[in-house]
Amino acid sequence: MYTERVIEHFRHPHNMGKLANPSAIGKVGNIVCGDVMWLYIRVEKDDQGRDVIADVSWETFGCTAAIATSSMVSDLAKGKTLEEAIAITNQDVAQELGGLPPVKMHCSALAADALNEAIHNYLSDRKMPVPDALRRRHEKIEKDVAALDKRYKAFLDREQTKGNTAAAGESAPCS
């Protein structure tokens, strides 16, 4: 079902955990779907004065593919200029892993989205110009999240009315 490279990244994920002093965080996914990805980036100037992703890490709640794509996108983004990192797509992530089963392709999209969101947040937090393509993707991700929230409102409401106080992993406080 999974390629050897997927299994390898799942077994020994790269760049996992929190990042000390991140410049920005991208948070994507939905607890109802069972995938939540938080991607941390630290941006620094390189010797040519360009913004570079000096360090990257992630925390992921999800399946084998979600963990492997998190690991892969962090490898792909590390050391890249923001411009280069913006160009990383879900196809790049899936391809580098030797492919993903069709039902798991959303995991690669999630990984690319997390990177997109982290860069978007980095730029917009600093009132820096956000490239059009990045903004469009950000708007689409936000729309998708809203659609999911709407679709799963019944699920989430039911849980809230039950007065469930489970501390971790609640959907509502994450969004």
For residues 58 and 130, give the distance between their C-alpha atoms in angstroms, rounded to a whole number: 23
Q: Are 5 and 97 in contact (CB under 8 A)?
A: yes
Residue from 23, 55, 62, 137 in contact with other proteins (CB under 8 A) = 62
Give catalytic status of residue 107 as yes or no. yes
Active-site hit among 43, 73, 94, 107? 107
Q: Are 3 and 72 in contact (CB under 8 A)?
A: no
For residues 138 and 116, give the distance between their C-alpha atoms in angstroms, rounded to a whole number: 7
Residue from 5, 16, 105, 135 in contact with other proteins (CB under 8 A) = 16
Residue 19: closest CA among 118, 123, 137, 134: 118
163 binding other proteins? (CB under 8 A) = no
Residue from 9, 23, 38, 51 in contact with other proteins (CB under 8 A) = 38
Q: Where on the chain is the footprint of other proteins (CB under 8 A)? A: 10-11, 13, 16-18, 20-22, 25, 27, 31-38, 40, 59-64, 66-67, 101, 103-104, 106, 155-156, 158-159, 162, 164, 166-171, 173-174
Annotated active-site positions, please?
33, 107
